[in-house]
Structure 1
Amino acid sequence: MSIERTSPTDLMQLACDLPGSPMQVAAVLVLGTTTALDLAAVREAIGQRIHGVPRLRQRLVRAPLGGGRPVWVDDPDFDIRDHVNAVRCPAPGDEAALLGAVAETTARRLPRNRPLWSATLVTSLSGGRAALVVMLHHVLADGLGGLAVLARLLDHAPTTPDTEFPRPEPRRRSLFLDASGTRLRALGHLPVKARQLRSAIAELATGGVNGPPRSSLNQPIGAHRGLAVARADLAGVQRLTHAHGATVNDVVLAAVTGALHAVLQHRGESVDRFVISVPIAGRREATAGHLGNEVGVMTVPVTVAGDLHQRLTAIARTTRSRRPASPGASTALLGPVFRILAWCGAFRWFVNRQQSVTTMVTDLHGPDVRLSFLAAPITEIIPVSPITGNVTVGFAALSYAGTLTVTVTADPQRCPDLAVLLAQLQSELDLLTTDWTPSPAPSAWPPVSEAG
């Protein structure tokens, strides 16, 4: 029987997990339905569909000393009722109320003795609608892996016959033999590791630019979260990217830069630049049978000078020059450092005092066509990403069925002006695309809202 271990990148996600700041990602599927969804039906559907995603019935187990990295093993006590539940959205059931419920749900730490995921049906939304909040721990999957999981849980996913479950855990002897073989193979790969280390240093370098100026955007955060959502018409964004030789991610970076600059001005602060941490996928796609994390980090220095279109052109030039040839190499450098800091209890001290990045921005290309769950159309997908350390606000962007959705995650005590930040972000997105698409972004909700 093959042994399924965590990768070094997976271990880095575990090291980053802190009490009050769990490394959990989520997708909020807003369902346009006029009939009430039954929790029992949702449990039955997901319980059948997870057969195509073996990791959703596996828990993470630490190997004995000398037995190598932690392993994924089938959970013999798996019960779908431990993972799929329902909550009632507070009145009036609008987007702000939904985001408040989502913030509360995603802040709860997933139990470590079970498979690291949950699905929460949120009922009583306005207009007779509901939402499904699918949450995964980051050790289970990166962004592309998360999309692969979603694809298996929705309607029209390929059926997968159930295999033997639960399979027995690997024996201690097998773990030690496997770990010894891994160490021997690693010795033969030392020249490759040396090249990866050089790539990692290049991936993390800021191109000679100093870290960002100190500002109120970097303060140790607490355990509470506030969420806010802005939107843009994807076709307009794409026409803009073609005109500027940019990517959708560049557009998001330009809008975020303008919004952060404006909110600091609102606070009476003035900075001329930021440094944004951007994850880079180390693969083009993921499958439900091959999840985990294959992602690195690129730090992008951005300045606030110039108008929006000048800023976008400059950002596109920067990201093109900084994108590494082997994305994901930075894990070779960051992973061991983070694990050592976590092991000696110094990781929180480190991330609470870092002065390397201002914020984090992640962007994913989601499905181009509208999907459904239990025949209910998914009108939009709202991404939710974690923040940690002294990063008081972060951004997650996802394109789905013609709309680019950008979610802001913030500590509401450190960012009490989240509504101001959201309004500025929406304004930046509108201004960036106003010359290219005259119509507002389609949405089932009011165009701007926030919850905290």
Structure 2
Amino acid sequence: MSERLRARDLAVLAGESPTTPRHNATVEVFEPGESGFDYARLVELVADRISFVPRYRQRLAPVPGRLANPVWVDDPDFDIGYHVRRSALPRPGSPEQLFELVGRIVARPLDRHRPLWEVYLVEGLEGGRLALLSKAHEVLVDGVHTVDLAQVLLDRTAEPRPFHQDDWHPLSAPSPAGLVAGAVQDAVTDPSTVVDTARASLDSAWRAAESVAGRLGQVAGALTNRRPANSTLGGHLSQQRRIVTVRTDLRDYLEVRREHGGTVNDAILATVTGALRGWLLGRSESMSGVRSIRTVVPVSVRDRELENTSLGSPIEPYLVDLPVGEASPVVRLHQVSYQFQAHKDTGRAVAANRLAGIAGFAPSTFHAIGARVAADEVRRGFQLSVTNVPGPQSPLYAAGARMVETYPVHPLLPGHALAIGVTSYDGQVFYGITADYDRVPDAEVLAQSVPEALTELLDTIGGRTKAPRGRRSRKKKGR
């Protein structure tokens, strides 16, 4: 029998709704050069590398009567042309137009009757560039058996590896009777199957009760004309998304670290803190009483008692309070560093250079796992998730085309209007900010506040007068 979905994976599916689809995405920008990288080459590349991630050719098959959790089965109608798609911007397409398109695509849920992923090649960008949008469901990239497809598409050299002929043929899909028989057999031979099924049923009932309670809260709020709590960072979400991005230079964070100590991660989170502060001050809402923002930051750890991920080490949530009420950028940095010092003192922290040295483009997998980790902690009452992943500091290529930019696009959790992903790659630090379209109409202001917050930190370095390197997002046009 094919592999059965675990209870925690089923909980991911149960937690999905039209306003909170549970898929991660990555946007990569390429300079094709003389490689001839186009849609046909992309289809060849995906067809070649998909054998490294066989689950990308499988779909979920539910068991009749819910006698057991669904199983992964080969999709007998697998069509790579359905999953690898082509789009274009009116030339010359701007970054704003690209991410407006990305926002529309990531807002759409994936079809559960097919393998849970899509890849889009977006042509027409200014300068002859191309963009690759990879989109995969969280149950597909589980952090144990499957890495993100984007991790295996990229090479460390511009010399394309020769494609090989994949002779994959789907196994016959089990019939409804076969699925029931498999569930009974698993229940007899593996008692954990019964436990997982019961746990999944209880979790489904719990989530249904939470959904009803949430709808009753909406009705009560409307009747009393009350605004939802944490209306700046949370509230009831729409089905649309805004995606804004920022590119900065890694050398600036290294300068901050050399001057003030701590780590590059501390400097990045201090920059996020300063950006949030500047964004909140720019709103009409007062910051009175807002001293910090409770934030979950997934971290990689050494722990033999925890299940290893496909990255070689477990990933755990770490809760920090980003001090947005603090006016001094240096004090903000030291407060963030102090909170992470406890994690470093345990000896379980994994060095950034170890993560950056993992084969392939591991950040895309880390972001996918980090989103799952954050979702598992949503009942702990945090307001924001920030996932910062160090990537390789040398160029990567897809079929000979050089990747010049990469932006993580995180899903939003229920009641969370913002999520931030950060990836460092080839000397740059890339921010991807996902925002609810209705609740955060000024998302571009938050993006513009990132380089301003970095400037604040750089200005504290003695004798430095240069502006920060890199580019900030330009203002987006309306929908």
The TM tier, using the shorter chain, reads 0.7 to 0.9
Contact 2:58 2:114 in 1 (8 A): yes
> Counterpart in 2 of 1:124?
124
Contact 1:58 1:75 in 2 (8 A): yes
Instruction: Map Cα deviations across residues 140-194 of structure 1 (whole Å, 9 max, x no partner).
Output: 116899875323223457977746531245644344333444435999xxxxxxx
Contact 2:146 2:310 in 1 (8 A): no
> Counterpart in 2 of 1:257?
273
Contact 1:9 1:293 in 2 (8 A): no
CA–CA distance in structure 2, aligned partners of residues 405 and 41 of structure 1: 26
> Counterpart in 1 of 2:291?
272
Instruction: State the identity %.
Output: 32
> Counterpart in 2 of 1:298?
318
CA–CA distance in structure 2, aligned partners of residues 145 and 368 of structure 1: 26
Correspondence list, 1:216-365, <5 A:
216-241=232-257, 244=260, 246-267=262-283, 268-270=285-287, 271-281=290-300, 295-303=315-323, 304-305=325-326, 307-321=328-342, 356-365=381-390
Instruction: Map Cα deviations across residues 365-401 of structure 1 (whole Å, 9 max, x no partner).
Output: 2222111122211111111111132211211101111
Unaligned runs of 5+ in 2: 196-228, 304-308, 350-368
SS at match of 1:386: coil
CA–CA distance in structure 2, aligned partners of residues 332 and 66 of structure 1: 26
Instruction: Map Cα deviations across residues 80-116 of structure 1 (whole Å, 9 max, x no partner).
Output: 1110111111454111111111111211211111111
> Counterpart in 2 of 1:386?
411
SS at match of 1:127: helix
What letter matches 1:279 in structure 2?
P
CA distance 1:144–1:162, change in 2 (3 Å) = same
> Counterpart in 1 of 2:49?
49
CA–CA distance in structure 2, aligned partners of residues 234 and 297 of structure 1: 25
Correspondence list, 1:12-161, <5 A:
12-33=11-32, 37-65=37-65, 68-141=68-141, 149-155=149-155
TM, length-normalised to structure 1: 0.77
SS at match of 2:240: coil
> Counterpart in 1 of 2:222?
none
Instruction: Map Cα deviations across residues 214-248 of structure 1 (whole Å, 9 max, x no partner).
Output: 44222211111111112222233245346555344
Contact 1:227 1:450 in 2 (8 A): no
CA–CA distance in structure 2, aligned partners of residues 168 and 433 of structure 1: 60
1:120 to partner: Cα distance: 0.5
CA–CA distance in structure 1, aligned partners of residues 278 and 99 of structure 2: 24
CA distance 1:242–1:333, change in 2 (3 Å) = closer
Correspondence list, 1:142-221, <5 A:
149-155=149-155, 162=166, 164-169=168-173, 171-172=178-179, 173-183=181-191, 214-221=230-237
TM, length-normalised to structure 2: 0.73
CA distance 1:321–1:215, change in 2 (3 Å) = farther
CA distance 1:159–1:126, change in 2 (3 Å) = closer
What letter matches 2:341 in structure 1?
R
Instruction: Map Cα deviations across residues 50-72 of structure 1 (whole Å, 9 max, x no partner).
Output: 12211111112223456543322
SS at match of 1:46: helix
Contact 1:9 1:295 in 2 (8 A): no
> Counterpart in 2 of 1:195?
none
CA distance 1:214–1:185, change in 2 (3 Å) = closer
1:334 to partner: Cα distance: 7.8
CA–CA distance in structure 1, aligned partners of residues 22 and 474 of structure 2: 25
1:418 to partner: Cα distance: 1.8
CA–CA distance in structure 2, aligned partners of residues 309 and 272 of structure 1: 16
Contact 2:454 2:468 in 1 (8 A): no
SS at match of 1:89: strand
- Alignment of 1:431 onto 2:456: yes
> Counterpart in 2 of 1:190?
none
What letter matches 1:44 in structure 2?
E
Correspondence list, 1:345-424, <5 A:
356-424=381-449
CA–CA distance in structure 2, aligned partners of residues 424 and 62 of structure 1: 46
What letter matches 2:433 in structure 1?
V
CA–CA distance in structure 1, aligned partners of residues 373 and 79 of structure 2: 36
CA distance 1:261–1:149, change in 2 (3 Å) = same
CA–CA distance in structure 1, aligned partners of residues 467 and 400 of structure 2: 29
What letter matches 1:256 in structure 2?
V
Let me know the Cα RMSD of the aligned residues. 3.8
Contact 1:7 1:293 in 2 (8 A): no
